[in-house]
Amino acid sequence: MVNMLTFPAAVVLLVPSVTPVGGVFVVGTHTILFLKLYSYKDVNKWCRELSRVKAKKLARSLSCPSAQHLNGGDRKVCYPGNLTIRDMYYFVFAPTLCYELNFPRSPNIRMSFLLRRLFEMLFFMQMLVGLTQQWMIPIIESSMKPLEDMDLTRMTERLLRLAVPNHLLWLMFFYGFFHSSMNFSAELLRFGDRQFYNDWWNSETVTYFWQNWNIPVHKWCLRHFYKPLLRRGFSKMVSQSAVFFLSAFFHEYLVSIPLRMFRLWAFTGMMAQIPLAWLVGRYLRGNYGNAAVWMSIIIGQPFAVLMYVHDFYVLHYRQEAD
């Protein structure tokens, strides 16, 4: 399974014709497949262990939950009846990272709902490309000189100018991906669990934001990483820190590989979410906590964008010019 991460990374790093956009797509796709296959392996391992014990009633209740519909059919599936190519492919394309033997299924495909989500996907894709080219790129290009000269005043001005389009694009990407595209694939596959996000915009703590803005990843981390660490005897603090470390690793992996550079400041910046979450949760409440979360989103992301673009420019374009 490690090859799911190392092979695409090696291809992106060794093949010069792979662009950063193409690298993000390839690395992101293989990362999703890695998480899905890990969940598939874990769940079938748990079912296999249950089948070995003599508590057949308990094993049947855990491996065969009650459901009206299942992956690709209308009957319940029990282990090892789920070990089919059809079942695996359904899980690969389903908008979830956590495998189940019997997914909840919707009764039919609503064409009007499907077409609305398709229109939203196409609309936001065009908007993201257009606003990036017409708004963000000129600001980023004008920011290279202040960054090189370490002009703090102009750097701050460029950062604040970049914060507006960056945040707008982030919101559009969130809606286009987590609502439009995931609901589109769910409707097409009659996938019944549509909880892809919660009310993260009302977050009063950083922890609540990370737990609710990306439900599929949160469920995977909780089920396959956090709880196994607790069962092994680790404390909650250590387990939470390990989850943040894993998240920081994958965030840096998804960015550093396509850009062909690793930046320790970005990795430590992700890990800085741990003391930030502690400080906000301890000293800020209500609207003040919500304001702190929003400020970390609005200011933190454009700062990271500027740093990455600057380093990418220095490494790849200035060296060629010299």
Q: Decide if 30 is catalytic.
A: no
Task: Provide the 8-state DSSP code for 191.
Answer: B
DSSP-assigned letter for residue 201: G
**Nearest alpha-carbon partner for 220 in 5, 30, 40:** 40
The single residue of 167, 179, 251, 310 carrying the catalytic annotation is 251
**Is 94 in a helix, a strand, or coil?**
coil
- Specify the DSSP element, H or E, that contains 156: helix 152-174
3-state secondary structure the chain: CCHHHHHHHHHHHHCCCCCHHHHHHHHHHHHHHHHHHHHHHHHHHHHHHHHHCCCHHHHHHHHCCCCCCECCECCCCCCCCCCCHHHHHHHHHCCCCCCCCCCCECCCCCHHHHHHHHHHHHHHHHHHHHHHHHHHHHHHHHHHHHHHHCCHHHHHHHHHHHHHHHHHHHHHHHHHHHHHHHHHHHHHCCECCCCCCCCHHHCCCHHHHHHHCCHHHHHHHHHHHHHHHHHCCCCHHHHHHHHHHHHHHHHHHHHHHHHCCCCHHHHHHHHCHHHHHHHHHHHCCHHHHHHHHHHHHHHHHHHHHHHHHHHHHHHHHHHHHC
Q: Which residues are catalytic?
A: 251
